[in-house]
């Protein structure tokens, strides 16, 4: 119920908010700023939106013209140069084997052997 009273009071204050006379505002701005009050010019904003849209359209057409379906023959794919190569690497691979001794105990014996693999390295 407290929130309803607060909301009602806020609505009342918004509805009864005083506003100065427009002539008083214009005269005060002219006296303080030395010029007539500014009105918002919409033409520069409209021109900015038009210029931005035109620039985006030109960039889209240029990007499609260089590659893709509207290029000169329309068949060339654009791909980066492959900078990868295959190299042979050798590492030591460790293996563990369970050995059962004559007295019945089990021991793990680790051996290592070289293993060569082909790897592709790209820059």
pLDDT digits (tens, 9 = 90+) for 92-117: 999 988 888 889 898 888 999 999 99
103/56 same-domain check: no
In this prediction the pTM is 0.28
Show the domain range for 111.
84-122
In a domain, 73, yes or no: no
8/59 same-domain check: yes
User: Over the stretch 39-75, which tens digit does the pLDDT of each residue have?
Assistant: 666 677 788 888 899 999 988 877 776 665 556 665 5
In a domain, 79, yes or no: no
User: Cα–Cα distance between 115 and 92 in angstroms, integer?
Assistant: 6
Contacts of 44 (CB under 8 A, 6+ apart): none
């Amino acid at each position: 119920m407290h929130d309803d009273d607060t909301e009602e009071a806020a609505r009342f204050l918004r509805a009864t908010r005083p506003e100065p006379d427009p002539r008083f505002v214009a005269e005060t701005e002219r006296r303080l700023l030395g010029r007539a009050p500014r009105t918002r010019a919409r033409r520069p904003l409209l021109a900015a939106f038009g210029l931005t849209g035109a620039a985006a359209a030109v960039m889209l057409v240029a990007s499609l013209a260089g590659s893709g379906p509207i290029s000169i023959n329309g068949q060339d794919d654009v791909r980066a140069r492959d900078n990868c190569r295959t190299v042979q690497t050798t590492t030591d691979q460790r293996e563990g084997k369970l050995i059962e001794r004559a007295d019945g105990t089990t021991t793990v014996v680790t051996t290592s052997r070289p293993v060569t693999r082909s790897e592709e390295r790209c820059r």
